[in-house]
A and B are shown apart, each in its own frame.
Chain A
C-alpha cells in the first residue's frame, strides 16, 4: 500500500502570499495518477488539479501542480481570501485503488 504524506499539517499565511503544499508518496508513483482537492468547511471537496499538473475546469491559474516520482507540490501563487481551506492530495493505485493524504489546513495568519 502506498501512503501519501502531506506537509505541513497547517500552513499560516496572509492573503497575497505564496503557498506551497507538499504531498510525498511512500514509493514512486505515476504522475497521471495524482490529484489535488480543496475542501471548505461544510462543503464537498472540489477537484483542483489532476494528472499532477492539469487544472480542472474553472480553476484559477493561481493554482498549479508539479512534481514527479515521490514528491508533488500544489502551489497557490497569490492567496485570495477564498483559498483558505483544507487541501488533499489523492492517488489512484492498486490496493486500495484510491488513497488520500491526511490533508493540509491553510489558515489565515
Chain B
C-alpha cells in the first residue's frame, strides 16, 4: 500500500520560510510525478506545484512562482516544498499527492494526510 507522510508545517510569521517534506513508501517513487495541493481553512482544493519523476519538469501556480520551490530526492523517496516570503493567504493544509499511474493518467490516486501551515504574526 502506498503511503505518503508529510511533515514540516507549523506557525510562521509573514515573510518567513518553511520547508515541507513528504516521504513516500514503495520502490517506484522515481517513476511518478508528484504534486503539492493545498486547502485553505473552509475552502476548496488548490493545486500548487508539480514535479516530474526525474525532477526535470517543474510547474507552479502563478501565485507562488518566485516564492516556492519544489524538489525531490529519489534516493530518499522524498518530495520537498521550500516556501519563502510566506503570506497570510498561504495559510492552508498542504497535501502531497502522487499520480494514479506513472504514465497515461492525469489524476492523483494517492494523498498524504496533510500538514498545516499557518502564516500569522
- Mark A residues whose CB is within 8 Å of B: 32-33, 35, 37, 39, 44-47, 50-51, 56-57, 88, 90, 92, 96-103
Could you tell me if B35 and A98 are in contact, using CB atoms closer than 8 angstroms?
yes
- In the bound complex, what is the Cα–Cα distance between A83 and B108 (angstroms)? 20
Interface residue range, chain B:
20 to 34
B88 within 8 A of A: no
- In the bound complex, what is the Cα–Cα distance between A50 and B113 (angstroms)? 21
For B47, give its contact among A33, A39, A47, A96 (CB under 8 Å). Answer: A96
CB distance from A47 to the nearest CB of B (A): 5
Instruction: Name the residue among B37, B61, B108, B109 with the largest chain A CB count within 10 angstroms.
Output: B108
CB distance from A31 to the nearest CB of B (A): 10
Could you tell me if A33 and B106 are in contact, using CB atoms closer than 8 angstroms?
yes
CB distance from A100 to the nearest CB of B (A): 4
Q: Which residues on A sit within 8 Å (CB–CB) of B47?
A: 96-100
- In the bound complex, what is the Cα–Cα distance between A101 and B98 (angstroms)? 19
- In the bound complex, what is the Cα–Cα distance between A50 and B109 (angstroms)? 9
CB distance from B96 to the nearest CB of A (A): 10
CB distance from B115 to the nearest CB of A (A): 11
- In the bound complex, what is the Cα–Cα distance between A102 and B105 (angstroms)? 22
Could you tell me if B45 and A35 are in contact, using CB atoms closer than 8 angstroms?
no
